[in-house]
A and B are shown apart, each in its own frame.
Chain A
């Protein structure tokens, strides 16, 4: 390679390629982005749930954004059990106090963080949930304790509209 100055022509080539690449990108992007969640899907962002009929120890499952959400009314023993766990025993350390603001009510997305199956209620080695697909065990706070799932079941954004109604999303 000789130390010659870049010529006019080389500059034109490079500039043409660059403009061409931007053009191709501009055309391809809409074709890719059309697959992302559309406006109608995003519009279904929140759901209100009546929880007045849920008995202590029972779980109801509601659909939010196409995913099941577990709403569990925990018994004092279950709350006790969740709060007694030491942080160092957890794969994804998270305090029960942070997961359930109102300790009686645990609200979380009922989707296993491994590969997206719906775990079964009141099963598994930790009295919480058990995922039948690949054997992940969750405790009474929905935290991963054993199995291939990397994270605790996700707590969605929610609020108590009044003492009988939860708004998810």
Chain B
């Protein structure tokens, strides 16, 4: 929020800007005051934008060669891999790009959880983010179906069958989704259409996400409100831009490692077998980024309740700004929350692990305990913690702990009386 009114220097600039204030927007984005203490966990917003653009660009080029037909899709993907110039590279970037996108989004989400970025006044940013996350999962799922391999086919069958759990209308909805009585060509063509559409919806939501962010401004590792602009902020360009670019380069190294050295490690070998509606692979698993939710689905022995639990696990996040009753944003000043936060991280990792294992014996027991804990964290621990927890006093400003040492109540009081 730059408060000074921007006036373009050139005459043409002024003429244009009076008619369409794009230059004002550009100036806002460059000067945008950003808390100066943002750490590297804050670079994932930029990284995610990069991921989205990468997926759109590689996706558009793949669509020039891919054929969305049950008889031809599998071969057309092999054609891309073997015949199309750099087809292998584009497809591997696109396939691994989905995983990198989720890696970044999970870091981004857990960053918000740690620093309380979802709290007032940033609830709308958070909720838009959750919608983006849901659309990402839908896009990724439908994209995984397109190569029409065994995992594509059976993943599509299992996920679309989740809707059959709905009482009365479930069966009708599933046949409507399939355009038939099983996953088949009509399903493939509509999934391709939607897989093409959703990234653009995500792009639109990203614009809203950033717009909503620019109203209150960034949260920061200390989680206190920052006066803008002030000595606690730096302009977005060049300070944050250069930091984001550096982090992005580090991220691209990891990305490139997967693309060039182990492009199939995150996929599943069964997807190199063409879809066969007569045979289900002996062990079907979703992509790694959906495993925690898959574990929750399987941990409930009832079909409808399993689906309800899985959806609730995601939707509960949208209610987080109200479930977390603590007014203190950053976990830095919440000694108990900090511990529960890390327990949640471990819990989700355990869910991811057991989601990849067969749902029996000890794995099933672990999945059930971890599922229960997941809900306990959000529904019981967080609401109570806000009332019970003794938090550490907040500094007055970002600069304060650096210049004035650790805040003690005397200094805080004196400064308040000066204001």
The residues of A with any CB-CB pair to B shorter than 8 Å are 32, 35-38, 41, 61, 63, 65-68, 114-120, 131-135, 147-150
Chain A: minimal CB distance from B156 (Å): 9
Are B175 and A37 within 8 A (Cβ)? yes
The residues of B with any CB-CB pair to A shorter than 8 Å are 154, 157-158, 160-162, 164, 175-184, 186, 190, 277-284, 298, 300-304, 306, 358-360
Q: How many A-B residue pairs have CB under 8 A?
A: 89
User: Known contacts being A118-B280, A133-B158, A134-B359, is A67 close to B181, with CB within 8 Å?
Assistant: yes
Chain B: minimal CB distance from A39 (Å): 12
Q: B306: which A residues are within 8 A, CB to CB?
A: 148
Q: A68: which B residues are within 8 A, CB to CB?
A: 277-278
Are B280 and A133 within 8 A (Cβ)? yes
Cα A94 to Cα B418 in complex, Å, equals 81
Are A116 and B279 within 8 A (Cβ)? no
Are B280 and A135 within 8 A (Cβ)? no
Are B280 and A37 within 8 A (Cβ)? no
Q: A134: which B residues are within 8 A, CB to CB?
A: 298, 359
User: Known contacts being A38-B186, A150-B303, is A132 close to B177, with CB within 8 Å?
Assistant: no
Cα A161 to Cα B79 in complex, Å, equals 45
Interface SS of chain A: loop
Are B175 and A115 within 8 A (Cβ)? no
Cα A138 to Cα B179 in complex, Å, equals 29
Cα A118 to Cα B182 in complex, Å, equals 12
Cα A46 to Cα B303 in complex, Å, equals 30
Cα A148 to Cα B184 in complex, Å, equals 25
7 closest cross-chain pairs (CB), A and B: A66-B182, A65-B181, A116-B161, A115-B161, A117-B280, A115-B158, A118-B280
Q: B282: which A residues are within 8 A, CB to CB?
A: 120, 132
Are B181 and A133 within 8 A (Cβ)? no
Cα A65 to Cα B180 in complex, Å, equals 8
Are B277 and A114 within 8 A (Cβ)? no
Interface SS of chain B: loop
Are A41 and B180 within 8 A (Cβ)? yes
Are A114 and B303 within 8 A (Cβ)? yes
Cα A6 to Cα B283 in complex, Å, equals 65
Q: A135: which B residues are within 8 A, CB to CB?
A: 358-360
Are B278 and A63 within 8 A (Cβ)? yes
Cα A68 to Cα B278 in complex, Å, equals 6
Are A36 and B175 within 8 A (Cβ)? yes
A118 CB contact (under 8 Å) in B160, B178, B278, B359 = B278
Q: B157: which A residues are within 8 A, CB to CB?
A: 115-117
**Interface-centre pick from B176, B182, B359 (highest chain A CB count, 10 A):** B182
Are A66 and B181 within 8 A (Cβ)? yes
Q: Closest A-chain residue to B159, C-beta based?
A: A115
Q: B359: which A residues are within 8 A, CB to CB?
A: 134-135
Are B158 and A35 within 8 A (Cβ)? no
Cβ contacts A to B, 18 pairs, < 8 Å: A32-B176, A35-B177, A35-B179, A35-B186, A37-B178, A37-B186, A65-B180, A68-B277, A114-B161, A114-B303, A115-B162, A116-B158, A118-B278, A118-B279, A120-B282, A131-B280, A132-B280, A135-B359
Chain A: minimal CB distance from B180 (Å): 4
Cα A41 to Cα B187 in complex, Å, equals 12
Q: Closest B-chain residue to A41, C-beta based?
A: B180
Cα A37 to Cα B177 in complex, Å, equals 9
Chain A: minimal CB distance from B100 (Å): 28
Q: A150: which B residues are within 8 A, CB to CB?
A: 302-304
